[in-house]
Amino acid sequence: MGSKPKVTIHHIAEKLNITASTVSRALNDNPRISEITKKAVLKAAKQLNYQPNNIAAALRNGKSHIIGIIVPTVDRAFFGSVIRGIEEIANKLNYKVIICQSYDNYEKEVQTVDALLSARVDGIIASIGKNSTNLDHYKRPQEKGIPLVLFDRTTDELEVSQVMIDDYRGAYKMTEHLIQQGYRRIAHFTSPLKVSVFKERLRGYMDALRDYEIPFQEELVIKSNLQLEDGRAGMEQLLTLQERPDAVFSASDYGAMGAMQVLKEHKIRIPEEIGLAGFGNEPFTSFSDPALTTVDQFSLTMGRITAELFFENFKTGDKKIVPQKTVLKPELVIRGSSLRRPMPPEEQAR
């Protein structure tokens, strides 16, 4: 029996007749504390055999075994599937995953980072919200030695490892596919937001048109939130043009699905009269009639790779992490909505 009580900063404070927070600041080398006090605190800590911050250090070394994930929303198949991939790897290594949603709201995202830190997570994996221009909140975990890894909606502003998809390539290949199917007036649904994924998709679309010598036309680019309703409105708008498009490539599957509904209401045949393509390979894209051509983002793989990168960073512990960037190649999923010619065999194999 009779274990010695653990020495805390309170014992040091008591011995020196100063407050515990002064002791804490002194031990953390806070500039607001005088050198004399710091020396006294260190001396007392040594005499009392004080072990600094054991619990916090233990937690920081991975003792909570919890990883926090921040996504804009879980009810997108893409994010759900990435999380599944992360969890698969994490669980194998005996880590639990807790998930928070930012709803693309900057304030909520800031609060979420705080909540995860107060939930004592060992690390954070995040996809940045659409409206977060200031990213200081993502610096806090790192300051506390909590590793951060970003996926999909990433940034070069933070020195962290990131996993993303080659959105440019996906959009370029999709536009090329539509051109090869004989479509020439190809409209594009994009987002006005400065999120790089949508800018990259627009760039891929424009470059493919240029490479195939098809003039870019401003009136065929519709900017919106890319939800189902936006796709409906965008398609209605395109149908009022003097010369309507013969294909629509939407930067989101939801937008494409809205366009499909409108085309059906107008009895416009897909893919004969107007071809359709989305981006994301949401599960519902295979349920529609015709099924929707789209771009697969390998969300499960992205999750697994993100988790692996995270644990790689994690293992290095206190050592300086060299941020790594992994870019995945997306793949076209060609379905009925864009297929009005038989595909050449070499094209199918790609």
- d(CA 154, CA 300) in angstroms, rounded, equals 17
Q: Of residues 38, 120, 203, 223, which one binds its own copies by CB under 8 A?
A: 120
Angle at 177 between CA 347 and CA 152, to 5 degrees: 100
Give the nearer residue to its own copies in terms of CB position, either 23 or 208: 23
The residues, any chain, with a CB within 8 Å of residue 180's CB and separated by 6 or more, are 341, 347
Q: Is residue 245 part of the contact set for its own copies (CB under 8 A)?
A: no
What's the closest the beta carbon of residue 209 comes to its own copies, in angstroms? Answer: 29
Residue 8 binds to its own copies (criterion: CB under 8 A): yes
Closest distance to its own copies from the beta carbon of 51 (Å):
14
Strands (E), the chain: 66-71, 96-101, 123-126, 148-151, 161-165, 186-190, 221-223, 247-250, 275-277, 294-296, 325-328, 331-333
Binding mask 254-293 for its own copies (x = CB under 8 A): ---x--xx--x------------------xx--xxx----
Peptide bond into 283 cis (omega under 30): no
User: What's the rounded Cα separation, in Å, for the pair 307 and 299?
Assistant: 12
| Both structure tokens of 141 | 């975990």
Omega cis (within 30) before 290: yes
Piece of 101-109, 195-203, 205-213, 214-222 that binds its own copies (CB under 8 A): 101-109
For the chain, the residue count is 350
252 contributes a contact to its own copies by CB under 8 A: no
Q: Is 55 a residue that touches its own copies (CB under 8 A)? A: no
When asked if residue 87 is in the footprint of its own copies (CB under 8 A), the reply is yes
Contact residue for its own copies among 48, 77, 193, 233 (CB under 8 A): 77
**How many chain residues touch its own copies (CB under 8 A)?**
56
User: Using the rule CB under 8 A, which residue among 24, 25, 38, 111 binds its own copies?
Assistant: 111
**Token digits for 89?**
């790897």
Spatial neighbors of 292 by CB under 8 A, at least 6 apart, are 253, 256, 257, 260, 276, 277, 278, 285, 286, 335, 337
Binding-site member from 25, 38, 80, 239 for its own copies (CB under 8 A) = 80
302 touches its own copies by CB under 8 A = no
Contact with its own copies (CB under 8 A) among 39, 43, 92, 96: 96
* Sequence-distant contacts of 262-268: CB under 8 A, at least 24 apart: 262/231, 262/232, 262/235, 262/236, 263/235, 266/239
49 binds its own copies (CB under 8 A): no
Q: How far is the CB of 76 from its own copies (least distance, A)?
A: 8
**Pairwise CA distance, residues 178 & 235, whole Å:** 17
**Contact residues for its own copies (CB under 8 A)?**
1-6, 8, 10-11, 13-14, 17-20, 22, 64-66, 68, 73-75, 77, 80-81, 83-84, 87, 91, 96-101, 103, 108, 111-112, 114-116, 118-121, 257, 260-261, 264, 283-284, 287-289
